[in-house]
Amino acid sequence: MSDTKNPGEKTLHVPTTKTLTLKGRGEQGVVRQSFSHGRTKPVVVEKVKRRVLGEKDAPAPSTERVAQGLRPQQAKPAAPAPTPPSRPAAPPPRRSGFVLPTLTEEERTARAQAVADFRVREAEERRVAEEEAVRRAEREAREKIERDAAEARKRDEDSRRKHDDETKKKAELEAQKRFGGDAARPAAAAAPSSAAAPSAAAPARTPTSDAALPRAATRSRPLVVEEEESRRPSGPPGRRPGGGPGAAPVRPAPPAKPPRNVGGEKRRGRLTLVNALNDDVRERSLASFRRRNQRMLGRGGDENKEKIAREVIVPETITIQELANRMAERAVDVVRILMKQGHMAKSTDLIDADTAQLIAEELGHTVRRVSESDVEEGLFDSADVEGAQSTRPPVVTIMGHVDHGKTSLLDAIRSANVVSGEAGGITQHIGAYQVTAPTGGKVTFIDTPGHAAFSAMRARGARVTDIVVLVVAADDGVMPQTIEAIQHAKAAKVPMIVAINKIDKPDSKPERVRSELLQYEVQVESMGGEVQDVEVSAKNKTNLDGLLESIALQSEILELKANPDRPAEGTVIEAKLDKGRGSVATVLVQRGTLRTGDIIVAGTEFGRVRLLVSDKGENVAEAGPSTPVEVLGFSGTPEAGDRIAVVESEARAREITSYRAHQKREKAVARATGMRGSLEQMMSAAKTAGRKEFPLVIKGDVQGSVEAIGGALEKLGNDEVGARILYSGVGGITESDVTLAEASNAAIIGFNVRAHKEASSAADRAGIEIRYYNIIYDLVDDVKKAMSGLLTPERRETMLGNAQILEIFKVSKVGNIAGCRVTDGTVERGANVRLIRDNVVVHEGKLSQLKRFKDDAKEVTAGQECGMSFENYQDMRAGDVIECYRVETVQRSL
């Protein structure tokens, strides 16, 4: 049966047609090969044994073998077939063709030997060459992979580790869900399958398996060999090595699909000569690259970023978004930290520096706290270059008691008369003016009014002031506001010059003024002190030069200097909203030179200097140190006392003002919430808890007036009642003012301003009263009267007389009647009475009946006897004293 077929010609057959073979059925099998989409195909698998031709195996040359065509490697499988050694002659092979029948036996044997040796050598060489090629290719391939992936490998490994951890965690979680929290079970459950897979796959991946195979078999029937080899350790077909219940009986597919993520291992396992030499096989697939990129960009991207610890500048308050930006973190992470601490916040919310520091440190950053704000750093008081300063004019403030002649004196110096033009005769507007002294130098005057309501402004004036001229009327002497002015000047450590005014008056007593000043530690030169004193008459313009000379002398002593060649700094003396010109601020330049076009910041307002107007009403291009100047160009109206500075850009100006506006709002909120303030605030709140408040909205034409009104009204209050200024500002009365007043049931006061048309109709609709004034006295008086109405009326008793009960009479249907004698004064019917027994008041009530003998009497005088009965009281006794009095209620005033 086998003689007719050469074993080397065996091939695959479909099972329906049986193949002629030399082997028994035990060495041949059919397996089903699986394809995608569930398609399968039966495959005949035959086991082929390797035959190595060597000296040991080389059969003795025989005519039979030579006659079979000298194909030793093909003859080997035929070994089990019965081949009688003594067979004399074999039938001639069907396919010989290359053995010459004419050769002798020796020649044939020698030739066969030579050919056999050659074959063996050739086979050996080829095998060595193949192995060498495989090794080289493998090495080259590995090197290439390593080289290509060298940079990415580290990150790749990290991310893979992370990913694996996550997957593991997910698997555990999944397992916990599935197995009710027993995390050990899924691991155990997974173990057999994971163990089964490699064991099934291992033989297919073992390089030696491939290498050990006969080359011819590997080449011509790779599938057969692979299938056959894969089955070798697993025993008979149909049983998987794991032997698990899930193992498919005839599906060796898993071994054909080894795990994908084993990298080099996987490649080595599959490596053949062809594969090793083909670089394409070793490159990452497109899908693999995509997955890797996704890992890097998405989930794994963040983990690979290196964390950088930063120094974060934290001001007093900061928004969450801004803090996140400064830390280079995500705002959502900051919000998450706050949520963990129980604070619900948005990225636009403000947090204080302490909270910001906690968050920054939690995220691994360090914090540098700035006390004020980083935006204001270097805005004011930067040091001047040595030697750049030059002498500047002195800034003088005139202070003194009301009507002692401050305005008249300044007016006299300026040779102008503004007194008669002022409403109500007091100085309403605060300004600053510059005059030339007789010695040639200039002197800048800040005019502050003498009314007590302007104390706040005066104190502010002293801050920018170099010299205070204290005006004391020679006829009036030292008065309360004179003392206040002395205190302000001393507090500001500003030198004083005493101007004893009104010396033209016949009753003037300059000496008395000098001695009175001693009580307040002001020792003038003529009294042996250091304070200069000058006797003047503003009215007659007497000795004005003497005053200016004294100022010049004092200025020399002070050595006043400033650098004009630098960006300007100064103080807003006054600010108003002018109808035609917009916001106008009177500014005293203190350092540097202010020029048109400069970008300026004052308080919460900023702008570009559009126009500079001097105190003489002339447009000027610049204003140097100690020069008062009106500045036009502010976007809003700054407040008197605000410091002004020139900044390099509008962006900086915007940054500073928005920060300050925010601070201002926060302070207002803190004031409104009250109890969150200091202990002092809490105590004053407790003190005024039962206080009646008189709410007001005040609008004025000038900041100074508004402040003055506010100060005057504050002083009106007492423990029972007080003014509460809801809002005060410069400008006309607007609808929003009316809304505010309506909400708090407040009155609106307009000082030298009027309500807009819409505001006045809104006030009519809401029933809000708007009162207009142009004299502060009138305003204060009116508010005083209105506030007095809130005071509870006073109860006053007027004693009428006393009587003593002599006897009690019981009268049916009437009740008890006390028979009395009036001891002093008179008793009146209907008057109030007190019944006093043993010096104790036993009853208070009304005298309902008063009889003289049997007649009703209106009043009974001392020494007379009378009958009395009391309202709702019968328990009178003989000997009780009756005190008779009248009660009046009197409306109080502040």
If the CB atoms of residues 228 and 484 are measured against ligand GTP, the closer one turns out to be: 484
The CB-of-702 to ligand GTP minimum distance in angstroms stands at 15
Three-state DSSP class for residue 193: helix
The CB-of-472 to ligand GTP minimum distance in angstroms stands at 10
Three-state helix/strand/coil letters over 392-442: CCCEEEEEECCCCCHHHHHHHHHCCCCCCCCHHHCCCCCEEEEEECCCCCE
432: nearest Cα among 569, 703, 171, 627: 627
If the CB atoms of residues 406 and 699 are measured against ligand GTP, the closer one turns out to be: 406
If the CB atoms of residues 413 and 706 are measured against ligand GTP, the closer one turns out to be: 413
If the CB atoms of residues 409 and 763 are measured against ligand GTP, the closer one turns out to be: 409
502, 643, 660, 829: residue in contact with ligand GTP (rule CB under 6 A): 502
535 with 503: CB under 8 angstroms? yes
501, 555, 586, 626: residue in contact with ligand GTP (rule CB under 6 A): 501
112, 337, 395, 402: residue in contact with ligand GTP (rule CB under 6 A): 402
The CB-of-360 to ligand GTP minimum distance in angstroms stands at 55
The CB-of-461 to ligand GTP minimum distance in angstroms stands at 13
Closest residue to ligand GTP using C-beta atoms: 450
Distance set, CA 513 to CA 499, 533, 534, 665 (Å):
10, 10, 12, 48
The CB-of-449 to ligand GTP minimum distance in angstroms stands at 4
Residue 402 known to bind ligand: yes
Q: Does 408 bind ligand GTP (CB under 6 A)?
A: yes
Q: Going by C-beta distance under 8 Å and a sequence separation of 6 or more, which residues neighbour residue 811?
A: 817
Residue 275 known to bind ligand: no
Say which amino acid occupies 620.
Answer: V
The CB-of-707 to ligand GTP minimum distance in angstroms stands at 16
Judged by CB under 6 A, the chain residues 529 through 558 that form the site for ligand GTP are: 537-539
Three-state DSSP class for residue 796: strand
The CB-of-463 to ligand GTP minimum distance in angstroms stands at 20
The CB-of-782 to ligand GTP minimum distance in angstroms stands at 20
Specify the residue for token string 């008979």.
236
User: What residues does 798 pair with on adjacent strands?
Assistant: 886
If the CB atoms of residues 501 and 554 are measured against ligand GTP, the closer one turns out to be: 501
334: nearest Cα among 359, 361, 364, 307: 359
Q: Which stretch binds ligand GTP (CB under 6 A): 332-340, 388-396, 402-410, 629-637?
A: 402-410
Specify the residue for token string 């869900």.
177
409: nearest Cα among 544, 506, 508: 544
If the CB atoms of residues 218 and 481 are measured against ligand GTP, the closer one turns out to be: 481
The CB-of-447 to ligand GTP minimum distance in angstroms stands at 8
430 with 447: CB under 8 angstroms? yes
Specify the residue for token string 């408040």.
693
Residue 504 known to bind ligand: yes
End-to-end Cα distance, the chain? 142
Per-residue contact flags (x/-) with ligand GTP for residues 382 to 401, judged by CB under 6 A: ------------------x-
Residue 298 known to bind ligand: no
Three-state DSSP class for residue 693: strand
The CB-of-403 to ligand GTP minimum distance in angstroms stands at 4
Question: Using CA atoms, how far apart are residues 611 and 178, in angstroms rounded to an integer?
Answer: 81
If the CB atoms of residues 240 and 401 are measured against ligand GTP, the closer one turns out to be: 401
Q: What are phi and psi of 599, to 5 degrees?
A: -90, 125
Residue 13 known to bind ligand: no
Residue 450 known to bind ligand: yes
The CB-of-451 to ligand GTP minimum distance in angstroms stands at 5
In 519-561, which ranges are continuous DSSP H helix? 544-558
If the CB atoms of residues 164 and 511 are measured against ligand GTP, the closer one turns out to be: 511
If the CB atoms of residues 486 and 609 are measured against ligand GTP, the closer one turns out to be: 486
Residue 449 known to bind ligand: yes
715: nearest Cα among 792, 787, 775, 770: 787
Neighbours of 378 (CB within 10 A): 10
The CB-of-585 to ligand GTP minimum distance in angstroms stands at 22
If the CB atoms of residues 72 and 405 are measured against ligand GTP, the closer one turns out to be: 405
Q: Which stretch binds ligand GTP (CB under 6 A): 52-60, 375-383, 419-427, 666-674?
A: 419-427
Residue 576 known to bind ligand: no
96 with 69: CB under 8 angstroms? yes
Q: Which stretch binds ligand GTP (CB under 6 A): 19-27, 389-397, 501-509, 855-863?
A: 501-509
Torsion of CA 421, 427, 428, 434, to 10 degrees: 90
Specify the residue for token string 């479909």.
14
If the CB atoms of residues 34 and 408 are measured against ligand GTP, the closer one turns out to be: 408
Residue 332 known to bind ligand: no
Q: Is 437 left (phi over 0), alpha (psi -120 to 50) or beta?
A: beta
Q: Which stretch binds ligand GTP (CB under 6 A): 224-232, 496-504, 733-741, 777-785?
A: 496-504
User: What residues does 818 pair with on adjacent strands?
Assistant: 808, 868
630: nearest Cα among 576, 568, 565, 701: 576
Per-residue contact flags (x/-) with ligand GTP for residues 348 to 387, judged by CB under 6 A: ----------------------------------------
Per-residue contact flags (x/-) with ligand GTP for residues 446 to 485, judged by CB under 6 A: ---xxx----------------------------------
If the CB atoms of residues 550 and 869 are measured against ligand GTP, the closer one turns out to be: 550
Paired tokens of 58: 């080389």
21: nearest Cα among 41, 46, 42, 58: 46
Question: Strand runs (DSSP E) across 214-307, as ranges?
Answer: none
Binding site per annotation, positions: 400-407, 447-451, 501-504
**Contact positions vs ligand GTP (CB under 6 A):** 400, 402-408, 419, 426-427, 449-451, 501-502, 504-505, 537-539
